[in-house]
Every structure is written in structure tokens, then in C-alpha cells.
Structure 1
């Protein structure tokens, strides 16, 4: 290790007695050293940057602005009882803003603000075409009319951005109701983020040429709008350890979404920490790290990680060009080790089926148990940290993703005797539906006839009215007949993602001339994700997907045999399993796409309207995979009414859509609505 001793900057050498190459766990200090040759490169300090989700286009470097807001829902904390709020403070160590990271411009921040300014300018140009307005600067945050003569100009008030606080706290001992409360806050915030991002893709489809590379990134636009409305979370508390409402295994497609929910405060830097200049004891503290293979010396063994410190990399290359220094995030990691403070670990990697270049998975809490200075693969000095996962946590999300990938290709390689069937649909679905039970010998789902689509009585089709459809031979356009039936806009974007929940959706059907791949034919193609019925000790039979399901994506139809209410009364006397569509909660469906917290003039869609549903669905003898979904008051799946094969508003299809990004192997849940007035129980097949 003697070859690493010479540095040009003698005041920033690691003290050999404090951080030994062999891996000593003693605190690391910065000390002086003997004179060094002057021909060596001086180390440079920069944040541990990770590769961007996708290349940033038309990059114009600019000074990063302050993006912090006082945003962990103060109203959320005030809603708790005093005893609940007391659980929030375990240890107040330090204070201040998360560092911007470096003197060199953060690429992703530059793109973030460039898109924010471009979006503002486009809005200004649009208004100037209709009304006479002044050109406004980037800091005005408002577009105001030109004042008339002898009229005082209006005062434009710029929203004040409160910086992140200087207090570190740990959240402990949450009760079940508290956990549900915070989970619902996270769910609603992510729903707004995804709704804005999907809405941005629809706007791009209308305004931009896809052959051009000048499209705005919807993830940055969504984050910018939420920041300006004060909707970023966990900004009024610097939380050490687990974030309330965020579960191990939660998936994120974009770095900015991680910043919005407060899991990691930096949009590109790999180490999030409280700087020493803002700490009460003058020492930095690391709170979270992202492991995504951005550094060549990283070693990821799952429960044990050898994490490389930041700094010293060449521009746009993932290898060292100079030595690292024990400053910034590197020092914060060492101090967290010294005080025994855990860090959150988020893994980023490429994954098939992702809407972005990679996905990010929260894998839980790790302790830093060792720190040393070593020679990296490129021959330059790097700081290394050994992170060990804390015992007693749920299985890592990244490990579950790998398990799901194995099960998709080789299901019998893991617990082959637990698979009672590799396809209970008997090829009635486009993809197999497996039956898994490693708990007991129950095989109840095999006793029912599998129904891939809802079975309507013949009179439903006879009472549908005239058979009319669109004439779009090459694919539907915004002004086609079916678009008008949906209020003038298609319900899905070009990727088949639901834009917003509506009372009912009209898809193109058998009387339309458009091709099968038309953008307005989404739910009628049936199941596309590989599903699995599994036996659970908590919920009985449940449903999970072996594939990643995107927020807003179609999952499957809730299928059964449709009955009139008179028929339902007779069958209910026999104790048959009946589902009443009118009892499904439509709250979640109406929340998807609801951006009223962003746009004050937003109105929830009320067209087309449908009459109250007056039918039941019998699933006592024939049913499909959806009938085994469990009930939850904070579900990840919602019901959307859809018509495509008939026009009878009284009898729509019950189509299920994802309310959030659902990782593989996570149980799907529905809100079945009000309880039965006689039995007091929810109408669930289980």
C-alpha cells in the first residue's frame, strides 16, 4: 500500500492509523503526511454519480437552484395523536440541508430545471397567443396580464421554498393504523406522480414528433409540478432508518420519484447525507445509498455489499482517474459507521419490461461495519465500505425479482411439489395461470370451471341498441366516433396505460373497422401478465404476478356469470358466492389520474355517465383468477367499468387496473366496498 501514500494535496491524506488498508474499523481521520512527488494528479471531490435513467437531451449546464420544500405533509403529522407523534423522535444528531454535492454541475439537476423552465415558457407562449401578457422571468412563477394605463401593476408573490430541516430523527413503534395511514400517503403521492407522468406522455403524443429527440421527460415534469405545489414528502424531517409507508421491495422506475417520496434526497448522487457544515456536532451523517453498478470497485453480494466511496471518476466513464478524498459523502459514511447509524439501501439495475432504462428497488437497512482505503481496479486510491444487512427484515426486493425471473422460465426448479397446476385456465388465457400451495393440501381452485371472460345473458346484447362503430381503417384518431363516445379523448396512451379513471370507458368493438392493435383496444385482449394463485396463511388464497405491472396498466377482467337481481335473490338463499359490482368502491378508480392538487381547475371525469348497476355476478361454479384477489382498504388494484362487445350501459365489464407499480410476487388486492347488509361480511370468494 506504500504506493498510495504520495498525494499532491498533503492536507487530505488518510491517517494510516485511522483507516488501514487491511480493513480496520477505527474512525477515519484526515491528517498530514510526508512530502509527495508533485507529478501526481490531485484528487478531486465530486458526488458519487450514478448513470442517468436515459440520456439527457440538449443539455445546457446551469447553476442548480434550491429545490427543497417543507414537504413531509405537516398535516400528516398533525393528524396523529400526541403519543403517535412522540414516536417520531429517537435521536436528534445534526442539522441542515442535504449538500448539492459538488462544484461540478449535476447533470440530472440541470435537466430537471431545464425542463421546468421549458414547460413554463411553453405555457407563457400558449397564453400570449390568446391574451396580451408580459414576458416573465423564470423566478416569477406566474403569468400576469399587462397592466392598463393608470393602473398599478399586480403584485406577483413567489412561493417561498423552505429548506430541508436540520434535525435527524428515527421513526419507531408505529401502530398498525399508523402504518396504514402513512402507506396511504405514500400511495396517493405516487399515484399523483404517475398520473402526471402518464398525462405528460399523452401531451407529448399530441405535440411532439417521435422522430425528434427533443421530447420532455415526463418523470422530470411530474417532479417539478409536485415540487412547486409542496407535494414532496419527508422534507420537514431527516429520517434515519426506515421511511414510514415505504415497504421493502417497493419499485421505482425513475430517480426523481425516489426524491419525491423522500427515500433518497439526491436525484443523481449515490450518497445522501447531512453535511458537517449544517450538523450540530460538526460531523456529517449518511442516511441512504444507491447501489447501481456505477463504480467499477463495487461488490454486491446481497446481504453484504462492498460500496465504493464517491469522487475521482472521469467524466462520462465509470472508472477512476484520480484518488478519492475523505470528504463529503465519504466522510459521512465513515461517521455513520462510527456512530452505528444504519443507512437505507436502494438497488438500481436493468430489468426486462421497465418503462425506463432501469428500475430501483428498496432493499432495507444496512449497517456500515468496516471502512478502508484501497487500490481500485484502475490503480487509484478509493475508499471502501462494508455494508451488512440488518437481520429480521423482510426478503430483499431485488432477491424477489430474481426469484420471479427464475419462476417465469423454470417454475419446477423451486419447490416443484408445491405447484398443483401450471395452468388452471387450460389455455383459455393468453398466458398460463399457475396454482401454488406450499402450506397445506387445499386445491379448491381446481374444482371450478375457469372463465376467461364474463358470461352475459343474451338479452344484454339484444338491448344494446344499434350496432355502430368507427371507420378508422388504419387506426383510431382523436376525432373518430369512438373517441367522441369517450368525451373526445382516448382513455389510454399509446402504451395502453390508463390516463384517468372514468365512470365508464368505450373501447372499439366488433363493429369498428380499426385493426386489433388499435390503441383503443386494451382490455378485450385479456390477461397478459403471468399470474399465480398462491396459498397464504394471512389471506387464504391470493393472487400475485410473476411479471412487473406498471401503474395504470390493465391486469385482467373480474369474470363470472351475470345474473339479474331476481336470480341473485334465489341463488343467495342457497349460499352461493355472489359478487355485486355496485358495491365495489369506485374511490380508487376516480383517484387514478386525479391531478386536482396540481391544477385548481381540474374536474374529475363525469362523462360518460352510467345508471346504477343492478346485477350480480355468480362465481360459485365458474370464475377466473381475479376472484381470488384479497380485500384491502388501501388496495393496489381498482375496478374500471368498460364496454366493447355491446352498448348496454347497465351491464359493463369489470376491468382491473393497477393503481401503483406492483413488483413481481406481491399480492394483488381490491377494495370490495361495503359489507353485505345481512351477513356483515365483504363479498369475497375466499
Structure 2
């Protein structure tokens, strides 16, 4: 038990090498062992649970009710006499502790753990039958409305191409979720405006998750993964708990412990796979690498401990994960200003449950506690990076850490200073260029293309104004300035419009809003990262430089100048808001039709922060063409938007495209 064979979690995915914990070859291991796996019918999970997180379903809040530690939720045990005197709490606690230990020993006897542990590396993981390893996941239509699988698997030994594949799968799934959530919010605002604000605000996070589940777009439903989720990186940030469910990181929208129930488990033991640490229990202690985690249950509707906790459900799953040595994923929920939900959820890596015990909590009721230790040799915790970036944002300029060689490379041209950081060598290159906030176009650009005039809106653009009509009859951005849907070209209100600067149709022309720093990297040379958490769909900055015609670019190339060719940028704008898997009648935006971008951008002497973004075939930043200060379709601004939630201190990357037909070089030639 515990050996895994080759596994495909997604249709048409590359084959992944998976091994058992001991590192042996699974094909060799399975030839000597044939297991019969009974068919299991998993129970339907509720879409949403009561607001109190990690609560057991108890019908009484009387503190004097008996506290029974049951390892079998379906089996009732004789009721104990209630505690009659509050001074006897600790004597009752001692009695409960004995029951706690007895329950553990009974559990061991009941399921014959000695036999289960003959293989020290069993880890209680169910092997995948060899004859079903591909058929179970080859047809994506079979995943539609599929309940969560009861098969526990661990994915290991992924190659570089596999890592890229799964990262791209997760990224595209999260992009659908984020863009659908923004779209739902926009539709809700439209309905409210027509109903004069009488409709309640819809939960876009819940609606988008529900729609994606109906379309079979939730990930990791056909296998329940123990350990790391392929394509999800430590430090990834989520604004909503439902998004954790969508990617398979944590399968329950409310409960803090996600676990495989005993009725689903092959050996009858519940197994915990992930927890959310959010400080919802007064007895929790979080020291980063060491967590004292309070089990679930016993709280009232005001999140106050009002009853004893029981060794059942997720609590028993945590104890069994400790017994088998199974690691659990840890997601931390943190308050974060500016988050649409008021919190962020950060994946902090894998932990081992090393101890569990029962004690009287601060409220006097018995609580079950678990000690978790973070597994070594993992990347730094995302929550620690969030806190570090916050300290940098709040720090005065003179107390910033060593390595900051320039406090503002824009020299106050940007709304927010752009830092330069290098703790590797003495290279100060970014400081030697003139900083451009917006691109410099040839003078004739402002005289060609005509002036179609602007809107006459007073307080902001309306649904029927001329600028909305230019964008196909719908706003390009929501009320928070997030890109609703990528388009070939977006028209923002310009100098001829009467609407104020606060207009919903003025976003990218306002400049940067985040605290960026250009930093020196041993891997990519110079790169760009942010001290702020950037939500998906947010405007980042313009890609600026001196715009050259094709003829000018050919002359400049002969001199070896640095040129960027916009016509080679990947059309990632089409991915943002692509809801073809949601709506059967979805059509990729094609209006307005623009001619090929027949110009280049010279960044050899004048540039901005965007020019230091590195290339990636799986980028987190897209290029959206925008017009606002002129009407020449052939020379749009290159505006950059976030394709996903970008955590602080994570490098920003662009898809610069492939070889250029003019020069045979990449889009950027340094």
C-alpha cells in the first residue's frame, strides 16, 4: 500500500513520474503487489457551511453538557455525567484526557494499524489501479459536476516541462475565475443601476465558483492530492476562499480542516490534507515554522468557545495524518487592506503534524491541539514575504535595508517612487537613463487619424455615451479600475472629453499606483517586482520609449540600439476575460479592427520601469493596446495589466514573443 503509478490529472497532460515515499520505482513496486480497490461513493459536500469556521455541528451551547471523545462519528457512546461544579473543571479535564488516550488506542486496535504499518512508507495513500490510470482522467466531460475523489495520491518528480504545463493550467483556471468574478460584478452593477440600487450586492466570488463547478472547471476533483498541488507555488495569494476550492488547494469553503472522511477512506481512517490558519480560535499559536493549531468544533455563532471539542471529523483526520506521517498543506488567512474580501489567503507550504493533545482552553472548555512543523528546504513562506514587504512600505527612506541604491529612478515623474535595488554587484545601469512616464510618438501621429471629439458626460461616462460606444457598448474597466475583458484596442476618455479625472473610463492614463522596484537578479539580470500585492486585472504601467517608424527602426538597428517590437508581443490580452468555457456563444473580441503594429520602440536612452521586465512563456503581465490622447489606430499605447494576483516581491514577466520578421531577433534586443 502506498505505491503510486503514473498519473494524469488533466486531459492531454504530459505523463508525470510518481514514486512512493521511499523513492522506489513504482512500476517495479506494483508488479509484485495487486490490490483490489472497492468502489466508493463519496458523500455530497455542501456548497457553503455556516459562518463559523471549523465548527462541528452541535445543537447545544450548554457548557455543562458532557464531552465525549469519539473516534467514530456514526457510533454514539454512553453519555457521561455533567460537571456540577466549575471548580472541578480540571478533574473533568484529567478524565477527558484519559478518554483521549483510550480513544487513540481503541482506534489503533479497531483498524489494525500494526498490519497497516508493516510498510513504513505506506502513508495511508491509496494506489491507483494500473488499468484505470489513464481512463479516469482522459475524458474531460466525465469531470463535469464530478464529486471529489476518494483516492489519495502524491505527485512527485515533475520535470521542467511538467512544471510549466501545470503552472499554465492553474494560471488559466485562476484567470477564468478572476475575469468571471469581475464580469459578474459588472453585470450586478448594471442591474442595480436599472433597479435604482434596490438589488442586494451579489457575491461575485461565490457566483463565479459555482458557475465554474457546473462547467467542470474545478481542478483536482478526480484525484485528491496529498502534499503540493502541481502548478501552485508557495507564496501564491488568493483573495477568496472559494478560489482555493477551485484550484483544489482546500476543498471546503468554510471549514478550516480539509480531510478525506472515514467513509471514503480505503482503510476507514479520515486523513487531513490541508488547513487554513486564520486566528479564528483563541487558543491558536502561530510562530511561522511552528504552529499550535486548535481543532474544530465547540464554538457558538459568535465564534466563542462554548463546548468541548471532540476527536472526530477533521480533528480525527489530523490525528491520523500525524499517525501515518502525512504532510498537510498550510494556507494562512491574513487581514489585508485593499483586498476585496478584507483578507488574503497565502499558501505557505507543507507541514508535518508532530504532536496532538487535549487541554483546557482559555475559555475553560476542552480543546484539541496539534503541533505542526514546517518541512525544511522549502521556499520562504508567502505570509512572511507579505509582512516583510509591508515593513518596507512603511519604513522611512533612510532606514531601508542595504542594497537600495536609488530611492526614485523616476525623479518624481511618477506618482509613486520607483526604487532600484542591487545587493549583488556595483551595476547601477537603470539610473543612467532618462525616465519616460509615457511614450514619445512622432508629431504626425497627433495629426493623422482625425479627431472624433469626446463625450459630454459631467460626473462620469454613462452606458450610452460616445466613449462607451467606441468600446463596443461596454465599459472596459469596472468601478475598481480592473480590466473586465481584453480587447484589440481600448478607447479611454481623452483631453476632448468633459468627464472628470475620476471617470471610470480613465485608468491607464493616470500612471502607476503600486510601489515598484527594479532589482538585480543572478538569474535574469535586471527585473521588476512590487512591494504591493497586485490584484488580477489591475493596471501596472505603460511600456514606454521613443516610438519609431519601420524605416527609422531599420536604421537604428544598424547602430545597435535597443529596440522593442510591439508586433511580436504575445496576444495575451485575448486570454483575459476569455469566457468561452463558460458561455457557449462567446466570441473573441475583434472590434475595433486595427492594422498590424508597424513600429518599434527605442529604449536605448529613454525608458521606464517596464523595460526591465523579463520574458516568460507563462507571464503574469499582459499588454493591452490603449488610445486616449490621439486617435491614430496605428500607434497605440502599450499598457500593462496583471494577469493574476501578483504577490509582493515576485518578479513581473511579459511574453515578448518570438523571432521578429524584420531583424530575426527577439522583440527586445539588449
TM above 0.5, yes or no, is: yes
| 1:387 matched residue in structure 2 | 372
Question: What residue in structure 1 maps to residue 73 of structure 2?
Answer: none
| Aligned twin of 1:664 | 648
- Which position in structure 2 is the counterpart of 1:306? 292
Deviates more, 1:460-469 or 1:595-604: 460-469
Match of 1:240 in 2: 226
1:108/1:650 CA distance change after superposition, 3 Å: farther
Alpha-carbon offset, residue 681 of structure 1: 4.4
Out of 358, 362, 371, the residue aligned to residue 356 of structure 2 is 371
Q: 1:107 to 1:213 in 2, by over 3 A?
A: farther
Counterpart among 413, 435, 443 of residue 450 in structure 1: 435
1:284-303 to 2 correspondences below 5 Å: 284-303=270-289
Partner of 2:104: none
- TM-aligned CA distance change 1:648 to 1:393, over 3 Å: same
Is 1:249 the counterpart of 2:235 in the alignment? yes
Corresponding residue to 2:13 among 49, 56, 79: 79
Deviation of the 1:644 alpha carbon: 0.2
Asked if 2 retains the 8 angstrom alpha-carbon contact of 1:95 and 1:280, the reply is no
Gap change, CA 1:685 and 1:359, over 3 Å in 2: farther
Mapped to 2, the partners of 1:403 and 1:685 lie a distance apart of: 35
- Corresponding residue of 1:207: 191
Gaps of 5+ in 1: 1-72, 110-157
Deviations 1:419-442 (A, max 9, x none): 110100000000000000011111
**In 2, Cα distance between equivalents of 1:251 and 1:99:** 30
TM-score by length of 2: 0.80
Q: Aligned runs of 1:460-479 on 2, under 5 Å?
A: 460-479=445-464
Mark the CA change 1:525 to 1:511 in structure 2 (over 3 Å): closer, same or farther: same
Distance 1:600 1:640 in 2: 25
Matched, 1:349 2:349: no
State the distance in 1 between where 2:483 and 2:622 align: 12
Whole-angstrom distance in 1 between the partners of 2:325 and 2:271 = 11
- Aligned partners of 1:518, 1:563: CA distance in 2, in Å? 31
Name the structure 2 match of 1:483. Answer: 468
Q: Which is further off, 189-198 or 459-468?
A: 459-468
Three-state SS of the structure 1 residue aligned to 2:167 is helix
* Distance apart, 1:163 and its partner CA: 2.5
Contact 2:493 2:505 in 1 (8 A): yes
Of 522, 540, 543, which aligns to 2:525?
540
Partner in structure 2 of residue 589 of structure 1: 573
Asked if structure 2 preserves the Cα contact closer than 8 Å seen for 1:643 and 1:653, the reply is yes
Q: 1:229 aligns with which of 189, 194, 215?
A: 215
**CA deviations over 1:158-185 (Å, ceiling 9, x no partner):** 9974322221110001001000000000
In 2: Cα distance, 1:368 partner to 1:421 partner: 45
Paired residue for 1:653? 637
CA separation in 2, counterparts of 1:198 and 1:354?
14
How far apart in 1 are the matches of 2:213 and 2:433? 50
Would you say 1:283 and 2:269 are equivalent positions? yes
Equivalent of 2:488 in 460, 482, 503? 503
3-state SS of paired residue (2:402): helix
Q: Distance in 2 between matches of 1:159 and 1:340?
A: 30
Q: Say whether the 8 Å CA contact 1:94–1:279 is kept in structure 2.
A: no
Alpha-carbon distance in structure 1 between the residues aligned to 2:519 and 2:664: 26
Per the normalisation by structure 1, the TM-score is 0.78
User: CA 1:464/1:161 → structure 2, altered by over 3 Å: closer, same or farther?
Assistant: closer
Q: 1-side partners of 2:611 and 2:562: how far apart? A: 10
1:405 corresponds to which of 359, 373, 390 = 390
Which of 596, 609, 614 is matched with 1:625 structurally?
609
**Whole-angstrom distance in 2 between the partners of 1:160 and 1:527:** 41
Quick one: structure 1 residues 410 and 206, their matched pair in 2 at CA, closer, same or farther if it must change by over 3 Å? Answer: same
Secondary structure at the aligned position of 1:408 is classed as helix
Structure 1 pair 340/482, CA: closer, same or farther in 2 (3 Å)?
A: same
| CA deviations over 1:368-398 (Å, ceiling 9, x no partner) | 1110101101000000000110010000000
Which runs of no fewer than 5 residues in structure 2 stay unpaired?
1-6, 54-141
Distance 1:479 1:414 in 2: 51
Partner of 2:63: none
Classify the secondary structure of the residue corresponding to 2:379: coil
How far apart, CA to CA, are the structure 2 residues paired with 1:276 and 1:633? 43
Which position in structure 2 is the counterpart of 1:167? 151
Task: After TM superposition, list the pairs within 5 Å mapping 1:183-202 onto structure 2.
Answer: 183-202=167-186
- 1:612 and 2:596 are equivalent in the alignment: yes
* 1:234–1:262 Cα contact (<8 Å) kept: yes
Change (3 A) 1:529 1:171: same
Contact 2:145-2:213 within 8 A present in 1 as well: no
Match of 1:642 in 2: 626
Give the conservation status (yes or no) of the 8 Å contact 2:256–2:275. yes
Q: Spell out, residue by residue over 1:480-502, the C-alpha distance to the aligned partner (whole angstroms, 9 max, x if none).
A: 01111111111111111111000
Q: CA deviation at 1:281?
A: 1.3
Provide Cα deviations, 1:574-600, integer angstroms capped at 9, x if missing partner: 1100001111111x1101001000110
Aligned counterparts of 2:172 and 2:47: Cα–Cα separation in 1 = 36
Partner of residue 29, structure 1: none
* In structure 2, distance between residues paired with 1:365 and 1:88: 23
* Residue pairs, 1:141-156, within 5 angstroms: none
Q: How far apart in 2 are the matches of 1:254 and 1:629?
A: 28
In 1, the alpha carbon distance for the partners of 2:348 and 2:665 equals 36
Q: How many residue pairs are counted as aligned between the two chains?
A: 565
